[in-house]
Amino acid sequence: MLKKILALSSIRSDYDLLSDLYFRLNEDPQIDFRILASGAHLSRSYGLTINCIKRDGFRILSEIESLIDGDTLSSRLKTASVFLQGAVDCVANWQPDIIIYAGDREDVMIGAMLGVYLQIPSIHFYGGDHEKDGHSDTQIRHATSKLSTAHIVTIEQHKERLLAMGESEDRIFVSGNCALDKFVAFQSVRNDFPISFPTNKSLDGYALVIFHPVDDEVEEAAKQFENILLELRKRNIPGCVSYPNTDPGNHAIVETIEQYSETSDFWFYKNLERKEFLSLYHGARFLVGNSSSGILEAASIPLGVVNVGTRQQGRYCSENVIFCGASSEEIGLALDKCISEEFQRLLHDVTNPYGDGSASERAYQYLINTDFESMRMKIEDPLELKRIR
């Protein structure tokens, strides 16, 4: 009998976190693997990335148009409620053997709730991480872990944090970071995928810019983003700049993008094919912004990172990351350090603590060889687990 596995995905970033694992599951003749797609995947404003899933050949259980693109604090909560309403019946009717989801956006909480109330084992990827930026993602991540049946985490520190939260060690598997696998695999073939830059742009020696708004800094997000652009310009460093995600405050950043869209030294993109994005990443002089990619993935190249503002503060990372404030002066000082000869020499010795490129295979083996149904009832008392440890 086929084992039915359902993955939830609402945005290109969480899809890419586990896409290598998805390929392994999809190629297994003993597994009926499908994706429940929602949110930004179905929005033209965010690149209609549902097409990426289709081009990769995955079967889609359902497409749920859930994104409330209101750019307010309440919009993400409304998006979650629409997704829950649309997902309940299709998941209940298909009755997967397990549900998997990754990260810390609102849909992972919905995935965990579906598992609890529909009595389906659920596995949370990337739990146990922690940021000190006050962003809602950390709270959602930890709450989702408590609702989930089991956890596939990236490093031992994340396992220790879940243990401290009262999770049983039997429910936690350390695989490494599945998103790194494509970075490692791409090393040998990257020259075969040149980047198709617009002909009207001058981008030699470009920085890769990925910046998203933070909940408590919504009003300042656009100014912080513009500070990055202006400090790059002062140093004659062009930028390849990603559009922001769906977090509140993104509209103001998009307005800033529109102000600079015609300049020759900045190229703004909404969505790139995976191999083109990896080529862009590998070819960058450094990464600047506040993307988790700078924490989790850049060290595999290795690439210097300037992390601007509070987002990602407190996360475990390699020496390639420079944290700075969001003022022009602070960004400028951090950029100067990043491009200095001394810092560039340091990068030669950087290793990535999040994995070696084999995480997806480890996670795949854990998924197909573990009896999650026997683990579904979380009857452990955290007080008893604490005494055992």
- Quickly list DSSP for 90-159: HHHHH--SEEEEESSSHHHHHHHHHHHHHT--EEEESTT---SS--HHHHHHHHHHHHSSEEEESSHHHH
Q: How far apart are CA 165 and CA 49, in angstroms?
A: 35
**Which pLDDT belongs to residue 274?**
81
49-62 pLDDT per residue, tens: 999 999 999 999 99
Is the domain spanning 3-177+356-388 CATH 3.40.50.2000? The answer is: yes
So where are the chain's domains?
Answer: 3-177+356-388, 185-347
pLDDT at 188 over 80: no
Is residue 102 a contact partner of residue 128, using CB atoms and an 8 Å limit?
Answer: no
Q: Please count the other Cβ atoms lying within 10 Å of the Cβ belonging to residue 198.
A: 10
* DSSP 8-state assignment for residue 373: G
Q: Fold match between 3-177+356-388 and 185-347?
A: yes
80-139 pLDDT per residue, tens: 999 999 999 999 999 999 999 999 989 999 999 999 999 999 999 999 999 887 778 899
Strands 266-269 and 172-174: unpaired
Is residue 113 a contact partner of residue 147, using CB atoms and an 8 Å limit?
Answer: yes
**Chain position carrying tokens 């929602």:** 38
Q: What is the mean pLDDT of the chain?
A: 92
Of the candidates 154, 179, 127, the one whose C-alpha atom is nearest the C-alpha of residue 19 is: 179
Residues written for the chain: 389
Q: How far apart are CA 221 and CA 217, in angstroms?
A: 6
Q: 185-347 architecture in CATH?
A: 3-Layer(aba) Sandwich (3.40)
pLDDT at 146 over 60: yes
Q: How far apart are CA 97 and CA 86, in angstroms?
A: 20
210-256 pLDDT per residue, tens: 999 887 778 899 999 999 999 999 999 999 999 988 777 788 999 99
**Which pLDDT belongs to residue 64?**
96
Cα 255–Cα 258–Cα 259 angle in degrees, nearest 5? 95
**Which pLDDT belongs to residue 245?**
83
Q: How far apart are CA 124 and CA 162, in angstroms?
A: 12
- pTM for the predicted model, two decimal places: 0.85
Is residue 92 a contact partner of residue 61, using CB atoms and an 8 Å limit?
Answer: no
**Which pLDDT belongs to residue 187?**
65
